Amino acid sequence: MEIYLQTYGSRLRVKDGIYEVTVPDLSGANQHVKEQIPPHELARIMLQPGTSVSADALLLALEAQTDILILDKYGNPQGRLWSNKPSAAIQTWKKQLAISLSPQAIKFAREWIAEKLRHRLKFLQELKSYRYDDKFALLEKAEKGIAEQLHNLLHVPIGTDTKAATDRIRGHEGTAGRIYYQTLSQLLPKEYQFQGRSKRPAQDLFNAFLNYGLGILYRFVEKALHIAGINPYIGFMHHDGYKDQSMVFDYIEQYRIWVDKGVFRLFSKKIPTQALADLLPDKGLWLNEAGKRLARTTLQQALDSKRITHQDKTHSLDRYITAQAITFATVVRNFNAPTAFVQ
Query: Is the model more confident about 307 or about 161?
Result: 161
Based on the fold, state whether residues 117 and 266 are members of the same structural domain: yes
pLDDT of residue 340: 42
Based on the fold, state whether residues 153 and 299 are members of the same structural domain: yes
Report yes or no on 65 lying in a domain. yes
Report yes or no on 340 lying in a domain. no
C-alpha 110/C-alpha 253 separation (Å) is 10
Q: What pLDDT, in 10s, does the model give residues 69-98?
A: 888 887 777 877 876 666 677 889 999 999
Average the pLDDT over 305-316 and give the result: 70
pLDDT of residue 311: 66
- The band of 176, judged by pLDDT with boundaries at 50, 70 and 90, is very high
Based on the fold, state whether residues 16 and 161 are members of the same structural domain: no
Amino acid at 268: S
CATH number of the domain residue 277 falls in: 1.20.120.920
Based on the fold, state whether residues 30 and 101 are members of the same structural domain: no
**Residue 73 CB partners (closer than 8 Å, separation 6+):** 48, 49, 50
Count Cβ atoms below 10 Å from residue 133 Cβ, excluding itself: 7
Based on the fold, state whether residues 106 and 46 are members of the same structural domain: no
Domain boundary among the residues 54, 85, 116 is at 85
Based on the fold, state whether residues 97 and 75 are members of the same structural domain: no
Domain boundary among the residues 28, 57, 85 is at 85
CATH number of the domain residue 79 falls in: 3.100.10.20
pLDDT of residue 241: 57
Based on the fold, state whether residues 99 and 214 are members of the same structural domain: yes
Tally of domains within the chain: 2
Torsion of CA 143, 148, 150, 154, to 10 degrees: 160
Report yes or no on 343 lying in a domain. no
Q: Is the pLDDT of residue 338 over 60?
A: no
DSSP letters spanning 55-68: HHHHHHHHHTT-EE
Give yes or no for a contact between 114 and 254, defined as CB atoms under 8 angstroms apart.
no
Based on the fold, state whether residues 305 and 269 are members of the same structural domain: yes
Q: Is the pLDDT of residue 178 over 80?
A: yes
Buried b (16+ CB within 10 A) or exposed e, 78-112: eebeebeeeeebeebbbbbbbbbebebbbebbbeb
Q: What pLDDT, in 10s, does the model give residues 218-260?
A: 988 998 998 898 999 999 998 765 567 899 999 999 999 999 9
pTM (two decimals): 0.80
Based on the fold, state whether residues 49 and 129 are members of the same structural domain: no
The residue segments making up the domain with residue 10 are 2-85
